[in-house]
Each structure stands twice: as structure tokens, then as C-alpha cells.
Amino acid sequence: MALVSSTPMLKQARESGYGIVAFNVHSLDMLYAVVEAAAELESPVIIQTTVGTVRNLGPDSVVSSARAAAEKYKIPVALHLDHCTEFEVIVKCIRAGYTSVMIDASMYPFEENVKRTNQVMEIAKFLDINVEAELGKVGGVEDDIVVSDEDAEKAIPFECKEFIKLTGVPTLAPAIGTAHGIYSGDPDIDFERIKQIAELVDVPLVLHGGSAIPGDDVKRCVSLGMAKMNVSTELKNAYSAAIRDHFINEPDSLDPRQYLKFAKEAAKELAKSKILLVGSQGKASSTKRFIHQ
Ligand code: 13P
């Protein structure tokens, strides 16, 4: 099937109490690994790329590979641009065929965040495109965006309500204590805050920093309304570790089909474990029906 907007799949997930994983892919091989994992579990899935990956691969090649994978495996696949601060890159990706974009203006004061989000909403409202915005500041490192522990800030519940009223954004990523990258201890997730936000806004909420969060914590976040979970670091690490292990055992190996095969398998296994964690396995056909209503 064609690439779909992530709006209906996330809405359905939030209403039904499960989550959808959005995997950051860094190569076309990783993209296929994720879609194959989702197809084997009959799950809807979101592929996402950072601005760095868009620059590296080019938006057209990401879009054509994502389209080809969605058509081949016949599951609902959305293609999302993660953490973008530049309006021009957002427009470029939408024109290329991305079906979802994040405008990250969380580094600006509330009013400026509203203004920049509305600039993107002006375009998206004429198209079948999901828009995600962030409130508060998620800590850690994601491509060029670096937020230190001191600068990380949790989202304020009443501001979330106000933000949705002023922008109409269909998906919101409130900072609630998770961070991008691997944690030194367990993350300090503010479940009470998620609950308060979810009581005030009914749009699907997004859990950033999905790598290495203990399974029970992920399930609790999903049950509270976090309908999208972003996973980048763990996928990248699994893929890279398989290549590194191959070269430790076979330092003279020269056939990329050999080591990429192991890397793809490792990425697939990791992707499957995250899909099972949020409970979206078996939801592909009900998502398709929901999309076509
Ligand atoms: P992790 O790298 O911690 O998985 O975070 C991913 C993310 O939130 C991308 O926006």
C-alpha cells in the first residue's frame, strides 16, 4: 500500500491503548529491516529519519525506498521527519513524499514555538500529513540537537492544553523525563505528569528517547496515552554491533552482503522486540480499515 499519514494510526493506537514504534533509520537497509520486522508481526510502523539522514541519503531515495517497502509488505507505513528546526527542510521532505513531520521549536519560548508550529500547520492542513511538535525540552543528543541535563525541561500540563488550542497540532511530544541516547541509570519518568497532560489533551502523545527504557515503564507510558515511541540509539547500536562482531571474527571479510545480512537480522530482532513491547502486533489490518473509513 502507499505511504500513509501517521495521524489515523496514532489516533487509533491512543484510543485503543497500544503504541506504535517510530524507528530512526540511517540507511536504506535499516529501513527494510524495520518494515520487514513490522510485516512479520502484522504491525503498522513509522519510519523516521533525522535531518542528518535526509542530507546524507536525499529525501527522494528515502521516500522511494519507503514506498517500495510499504507496497511490497502491504502494511501501513508512515514516513516521518524527526526533530526538524528548519522550515525549508520540512517543505522539501513534504514535497518529496514524507507523510509526517516534526517541527522542533522547543528551544524557543512558548509563543515562538506556537508561531513556528503554525507555519507548518498552514501547509499540512491542505495535505494528508501528520505534524508533531515538542513542549518542554527532551535531554540528550539527537543528531545536531544537543540538550544538556541542566537545560532539559519537563512540559507544563496547562501549556500543553493551550498549545493544542493555539496550533491544532495532531501529535504532541511533551518532555516527561526521558532523554535521547542510553541512560547511565534508569530514566526518571514523570508518570504523574503524563497522566495530567493526557487528561487535558486527547491527541496522541509521543515518547522520545525510547531506547533502553525498562519494559514495564514503556507499557505504563503507553497505557497513559503515549501512542508513539521513538527508538533510535538501540536500533543503530544493534545494527553496528553485528558488523563489528563480524569483523572481529573475520577481519579479512570483503563482501558487504555477508556483514550487512547479520546487521539487518540484528536490527530486525531489535525492531520486533520494541513492537511487541508497545503491543501493536496484529494491528495492521484494523489500522488499514480505520485509515479508509
Ligand atoms: P533514542 O535514541 O533514545 O532511542 O531516542 C530516539 C528519539 O527520541 C528520536 O527522536
**What is the tens place of the pLDDT at every residue in 14-40?**
999 999 999 999 999 999 999 999 999
User: 233 CB under 6 A from ligand 1?
Assistant: yes
In terms of pLDDT, which residue wins out, 165 or 125? 165
How many Cα atoms sit within 13 Å of 56 on the Cβ side?
10
Ligand 1 centre to CA of 207 (Å) is 9
When comparing pLDDT for 6 and 289, which is higher?
Answer: 6
- Side-chain half-sphere exposure of 77, counting CA atoms within 13 A: 31
Within the chain, strands assigned E span: 20-24, 45-49, 77-84, 100-103, 130-135, 139-142, 145-147, 171-174, 179-180, 205-207, 226-231
Of 140, 33, 122, 24, the C-alpha closest to 80 is 24
Spell out the residues 6+ positions from residue 23 whose beta carbon is closer than 8 angstroms to its own: 30, 34, 45, 46, 47, 48, 231, 232, 235, 271, 274
CB of 231 within 6 A of ligand 1: the answer is yes
Give this prediction's pTM. 0.96
Q: pLDDT for 205-220, tens place per residue?
A: 999 999 999 999 999 9
Q: Which of 230, 234, 237, 239 to mutate to test the pocket of ligand 1 (most atoms within 8 A of CB)?
A: 230
Assess whether pLDDT exceeds 70 at residue 293: no
Q: Is 238 exposed, middle or buried, given 0-12, 13-18 or 19+ CB atoms closer than 10 A?
A: buried
- Taking only the tens place, the pLDDT of each residue in 154-189 is 999 999 999 999 999 999 999 998 888 887 777 889
In this predicted structure, what is the pLDDT of residue 270?
98
* All three cell numbers of 129: 500529513
